[in-house]
Structure 1
Amino acid sequence: MDRKVFFQYLAENQATLFADGISSEQKSGLNTKLDVWAKWYAAKHPVNFLAAALGQIYHETGGKMVPVLEAFAINREQSAQLLEKAYNEGRLSWVKQRYWEKDESGKHPVGGGDIQLTHRRNYVAAQERIGKKFEIDINLAENYDLALDPVISAHIAFSGMIDGWFRECKLSDFAKDNNTLDYCAARDIVNGDVGIVGKKIEVYCQTFESALAAAGAQQYLKPLDKNIDWPDHD
């Protein structure tokens, strides 16, 4: 895959995603995701699965393409405060439980990552699933902010969408007979708001698919950073 062509395509042909150009932060985030995909996922999954994940991540991170905390806060305490304020003002009418309050661990289990985990049970489940799938111990149950590590976050996003960690569906459920994906309907993997943002996210996914195709990702996708690996998490 030609990364230069990939970024050039996004910057020059798709101003709807990166109207002001691609920042160094966005480029770094995308390169890490491409590296993680190339090393751990490309051999087993089609490129449109990657496009689907990138489109969802674009929406979930507000276009930043790096792991973020919910409400784009600088820390979990601020995120919880912003969510509480929004809740009290009636802007979170769908929320039935104040999940941002401190849990039994003394931490705020607010959303964090490329595809944001919320609630302690989901951080614990992610730790268990990562451990089983990759035979590595990432202690998310004790340190929720590990979900903000670029490599761990990318794995949560990719494996979560492929294996159905977030809701009762997974990417293969939206595959069509002609080897395409229903990107709009696949929003349901992450959130049940297809009717609100599904069409918009479909455009993001199609854009990334076109950029990946232009760059030759179908033929050859390898890590740019040969040392890409799980972070030191001791």
Structure 2
Amino acid sequence: MTDEATIDRAYFLANYPTAFGKLTASRREGFEALFDAWDDLPHLDYLDWLAYAMATAWHETGGTMQPVREGFAKSDAEAYAKVTAYCARQGIENYARRHANGQSYYGRGYVQLTHSYNYQKMGERLYVGKAFYDDPDKVMQAQIAAKILLIGLMEGSFRPKAGTLIDYFSGMERDWFNARDLINGDKKKVAAWTLKEWPGGKPTGELIAGYGQAFRAALRQGRRQTLDNSEGLSIG
């Protein structure tokens, strides 16, 4: 029998940053999905990484902690229409265009996974083959979205030139602000809604850094006992 590191969920519930609002059932479900995905990944104890992933999910979902479609659309048709209109306004190729299988590959999940090749690549990385390409709405499942977010950040899948989480959080480094580069190049962009809250507003990178630091304070490792591999069972 061996001990495995796991997230102390009772500690998180007791120390959840209430300044973010009530820990609703749907928010808790989203956090649990991230904790499940984290605990399933081997040999991870860099809680800064998890805290930054939580902060990213919080920002990208507007604090709901539930996977979202691009533009916070309520349906596939609405997301398709919104992205198509956006691309037309920007004069860029419509990345939401429907493929021969009828599917549209606009952004979905805890982080906006876009383009058919990224759905294909992430499906292969999670050992489900073409599942996400054939049915992109699978990315709207919290457990799947959580794995995509964590693996994408740790492996630098979203913006490869920006590096990976270890480039921002290691024994020598804790760079909450610049870690936003892993997801988007908008770290210095002032979020419009913050103009009402702070003089001059607050840059996106600073916002997410604040979320991440608050979540980090609510995290600690726990332990769970597992039987050896010959048994193939877990306890607790």
TM-score, normalized by length of structure 1?
Answer: 0.79
Q: Does 1:98 align with 2:94?
A: yes
Aligned to 1:205: 212
Per the TM alignment, residue 29 of structure 1 is displaced from its structure 2 partner at its CA by 1.1
Shift in CA distance, 4/175, structure 1 to aligned 2, threshold 3 Å? closer
For 1:103 and 1:130, the matched residues in 2 are separated by: 22
Q: 1:153 aligns with which of 145, 152, 155?
A: 145
Aligned to 1:117: 113
Aligned to 1:7: 13
Letter in 1 for 2:12: F
> Which structure is larger by alpha-carbon Rg, 1 or 2?
2
Higher strand share: 2
For 1:59 and 1:159, the matched residues in 2 are separated by: 18
Q: 1:174 aligns with which of 143, 168, 177?
A: 168
Aligned to 1:140: 132
Question: 1:100-128: CA deviations, max 9, x gaps?
Answer: 22123321111111112111111011112
Shift in CA distance, 221/87, structure 1 to aligned 2, threshold 3 Å? farther
For 1:149 and 1:221, the matched residues in 2 are separated by: 26
Aligned to 1:37: 38
Q: Does 1:186 align with 2:179?
A: yes
Letter in 2 for 1:191: N
Question: 1:166-218: CA deviations, max 9, x gaps?
Answer: 0122111113543x421211111111111121111000110110111xxxx23
Q: 3-state SS of the aligned residue for 2:207?
A: helix
Shift in CA distance, 219/97, structure 1 to aligned 2, threshold 3 Å? same
Residue segments in structure 1 that go unaligned for 5+ positions in a row: 228-234
Shift in CA distance, 148/106, structure 1 to aligned 2, threshold 3 Å? same
For 2:130 and 2:94, the matched residues in 1 are separated by: 26
Q: 3-state SS of the aligned residue for 1:140?
A: helix
Shift in CA distance, 138/98, structure 1 to aligned 2, threshold 3 Å? closer
Residue segments in structure 2 that go unaligned for 5+ positions in a row: 1-6, 190-203, 226-233
Task: Note if contact 1:38-1:221 (Cα within 8 Å) is conserved in structure 2.
Answer: no
